[in-house]
Structure 1
Amino acid sequence: MADLGRQLHEYLAQSKAPAAPAAPAPQQEPSAVPGPGWRWPWAAEADPWLPGLSLWQRVAGAALCVLLAALCFALAALYAPLLLLRARKFALLWSLGSLCALLAAALLRGPSRLLREPSRGSLLYAAALCGTLYAALGLRSTALTALGAAAQLGTAATALLGAVPGGIGGVRRLGGLLGAALRRGAALPV
């Protein structure tokens, strides 16, 4: 504990000392293949909300969250044929999978970066996700759970459409190209 206090005092002393202007580092062309000096783009700076986690701990945690999300999505897919009978379980598993996927993204990018400037779509998605979980776990209402899941899927679809270059016009153009290729019977290039 004393070592931690000493390190804190040294750090504070360094931040109070005037910094000498550093020479600009030479810009290197980013390499597509990871090499000795290569770093992941999201690991450029430590996130203040995750101060004690190293890069590899964050990657391992994100991998675990992705595995849990895949498990939840796979279990939700098993309930898809019984959607009318088990709508609450399907929505709960789907929402927990979405929550695990968001947690994986937060571990990789850093929660403060994800929450720095949230868009309206991401706020609506988070509200629909929380509403679905509350309706399934707290209220135990199948109708409200189904409504929340529909809102969640709608906001996710809107966010995905917004991510396509050109927005709705880009989706229409891609759909037209895909439809024309399917009508001609041509195979899609892979």
Structure 2
Amino acid sequence: MVSRWDRLLVFGGLNLAALALFVVCFTLMPILLLRSRKFAILWSMASALFLASWAVMMGPLTYVRHLLSTERLPFTATYFGSIALTLWFAVGLQSTLLTLISSIVQVVCLVWYLISYFPMGSTGLRFAARFGGNRAAAWLNG
């Protein structure tokens, strides 16, 4: 049995690895956009690490049941399908246009995922953004 602390450590490690790949994608975006298939592969790997972190945190079977629940199934099919298609188009077919389209779908799904798991959903996200914006404005003005 894996302890809660161990799960938190692995969760954090997988999220750090995913974050590192997302940062590489964003910082090298001008270069990687010329090589869109490489960008898509890095982005897909970051998405897979991010999803794996939640599976570790919640427990794999609990997470799979959650993702396959009736209300989450459309999202699950879209997100996992976009990851698989992005990799297939980038590595298998080597089609830049199809890779780009599936990558865009994947980014939209990732944002949707983040919003849906943020405490209180989009309302909580708006509150946090407003609060952060107010703090930043106060800091800059003060």
TM-score, normalized by the shorter chain, greater than 0.5: yes
What amino acid does structure 1 have at the position aligned with 2:2?
S
4+ runs of 1 displaced by more than 4 Å?
A: 160-167
Distance 2:19 2:114 in 1: 19
Q: Which region of structure 1 is more displaced relative to structure 2, 79-88 or 131-140?
A: 79-88
- Structure-2 residue corresponding to 1:154: 108
Distance 1:95 1:137 in 2: 12
- Structure-1 residue corresponding to 2:30: 81
The one of 134, 137, 140 equivalent to 1:187 is: 137
What TM-score comes out, normalization by structure 2 length? 0.70
- Structure-2 residue corresponding to 1:140: 94
- Structure-2 residue corresponding to 1:112: 61
Extract unaligned runs of 5+ from structure 2. none
CA contact (8 A) 2:47 2:110 kept: no
Distance 2:138 2:61 in 1: 40
Extract unaligned runs of 5+ from structure 1. 1-52
When the two chains are superposed, the root-mean-square deviation of aligned CA atoms in Å is 3.1
TM-superposed CA distance for 1:58, in Å, is 3.4
What TM-score comes out, normalization by structure 1 length? 0.54
CA contact (8 A) 1:128 1:151 kept: yes
Distance 2:19 2:121 in 1: 30
What amino acid does structure 2 have at the position aligned with 1:147?
I
The one of 29, 38, 41 equivalent to 1:92 is: 41
- Structure-1 residue corresponding to 2:2: 54
The one of 65, 71, 74 equivalent to 2:14 is: 65
CA contact (8 A) 1:125 1:155 kept: yes
Distance 1:149 1:96 in 2: 12
Number of aligned residue pairs:
127
Verify: 1:126 aligned to 2:80, yes or no.
yes
TM-superposed CA distance for 1:147, in Å, is 1.0
- TM-aligned CA distance change 1:154 to 1:166, over 3 Å: closer
Secondary structure of 1:67's partner? helix
Distance 1:124 1:138 in 2: 20
The percentage of aligned residue pairs carrying the same residue is 30
The structure with the largest helix share of the pair is 2
User: Could you report, residue by residue, the CA deviation over 1:100-153 in whole angstroms, capped at 9, with x for unpaired residues?
Assistant: 111111111111111114212122111111111221222222111111101111
TM-superposed CA distance for 1:83, in Å, is 4.8
Larger Rg, first or second structure (1 or 2): 1
